[in-house]
Structure 1
Amino acid sequence: PADAPIMTLAMTSDTLPLPKLQDMVDTRVAAKISQIQGVGLVTISGGQRPAVRIQANPTALANLGMSIDDLRTAIGNANVNGAKGSFDGPARASTIDANDQLRSADEYKQIIIGYQNGAPIRITDVADIVDAAENSRLAAWANAKPAIVLNIQRQPGANVIEVVDRIKTLMPQLRASLPASVQVQQLTDRTTTIRASVKDVEFELLLAVALVVMV
């Protein structure tokens, strides 16, 4: 990608949390814009990636004779992504594979981290699990609202005006792919000054031609 962003967009919502908005912008907007001819790089600023936060209670762990390491091990074992077994035949062998990755707080709440007197100890007995942001200290604002900001850069040698025109042509389709609660704002457009300069040059050329003809 070459030089400064040619266009900056901001997405805000009064109802959606930033992690969910970030995921939506990343998959529906940034991915589409990056496929436009002449676009070199699309970066997201102020985004908060969705994550699950597990806040352990040391006192509850100690009362059950467990440690933070025990909790971490149980969580890691519940997220194993690997082969589960195999079928071996005379001519073919097949591996059974499954993705055990947990993706939400509700799924994590089902983890059993041990047993006491024959009763299962669930992770909710020793920790609070919530859906939250990966980094809550990241943020961006647009018109005093928390926002997800997209910075769009062109490929080296690409015509900046043509690339911006292609992006603007795609904007109605991008807006239609988002919920009605998501507002898309154009913060900057580098072609504004370029277009003005081109018009000034055209005017000067026409004026020069007119003066030559008059003389």
Structure 2
Amino acid sequence: MKKIIFTLVILISAKSYTQNEFFLDVYIEKELFSLDRLSLLVETNYKHAYQKSRWRRGALNVKLEHQLSSNWLLFGKLVNNYRFDNILGDFYELRPSLGVGLKVPLFKKISFAQKLAVEWRNFFISRHDQYLRSRYKVQLNYRFDKRNEWNINSGFEWFFLRDPVLNERYSTSRRFSTFISKEIKTVTLKLGYQREVFLRSSSNFNRIGNTVSFQIAF
């Protein structure tokens, strides 16, 4: 009986591993200027897959935020992705988006945030492919101390899209994330984990993505 149970555990573990993809994500954000309730930010990002695909992505993005009130935020973003893929080929993606955010305090140290955005994704592979995608995120934020230096946040995000384009790898269906952050004067450091479920596609090796993420904002 013990041998049967041990064999089943090994088989389940092996199957679980083959369904997972592992990534490292490094993200840097810089606020260029802030005027009244308007802020302009530039972001750079690098993401790397560690299994079969050896897929990589480099990004340089611009984001404009307007604080409508203490709770409401309006934002626009222009994402420039370049993807390196040894199997499918390298390609460029241009992604403008527009969204709105709402943050509501629940208790003294806990707040609840929501974000809704619409993206226009343009892929330049062998030809131009494009689609519109909406995304919705809910998140709980908890601060550990009165000075707000240590924070932890966890959230779920849903991506609404029926089918990805041909040769698009790792198109996300839903994502869970949790981050812990530390503020040091004007610098914020974040360390987190993200678990994604990808849309079914012949371009994917695995269905689940596990990402360790390092983020710096200043």
Q: Normalised by the size of structure 1, how large is the TM-score?
A: 0.21
Q: Who wins on radius of gyration, i.e. which is larger?
A: 1
The structure with the greater share of residues assigned to strand is 2
Structure number having the greater helix percentage? 1
Greater RCO between the two (CA within 8 Å, min separation 6)? 1
TM-score, L = length of structure 2: 0.20
